[in-house]
Amino acid sequence: MLDVIQFSSFSEFLHMGGYAFNVWSVYGLFAVFIMANLFLPLRKKQQILKEQKRRLLFSEAADDAQAPAGDK
């Protein structure tokens, strides 16, 4: 079943028996689809964590400023 690679040269591989545009655009789209839906959520996670950390540090600093001196 896996005994034969269907192409004898790299250019023949790119040519896809005359269906180069169709085959490569579908596999290209598929790659974009997979990558986008894995990396966008990962990037968003970094943004969320960064934003929340900033907010957390800000509110802690505000709490400290409000507390009377020598209270800590």
Closest to another protein by CB, 41 or 68? 41
Q: In terms of Cα–Cα distance, which of 58, 39, 35 is closest to 47?
A: 39
Closest to another protein by CB, 1 or 69? 1
**Least distance in angstroms from the C-beta of 61 to another protein:** 14
CA distance 7 to 3: 12
Binding site residues, another protein, CB under 8 A: 1-2, 4-7, 13, 16-19, 22-23, 25-27, 29-30, 33-34, 36-38, 41-42, 44-45, 48-50, 52-53, 56
Structure tokens at 4: 């034969």
CA distance 8 to 17: 12
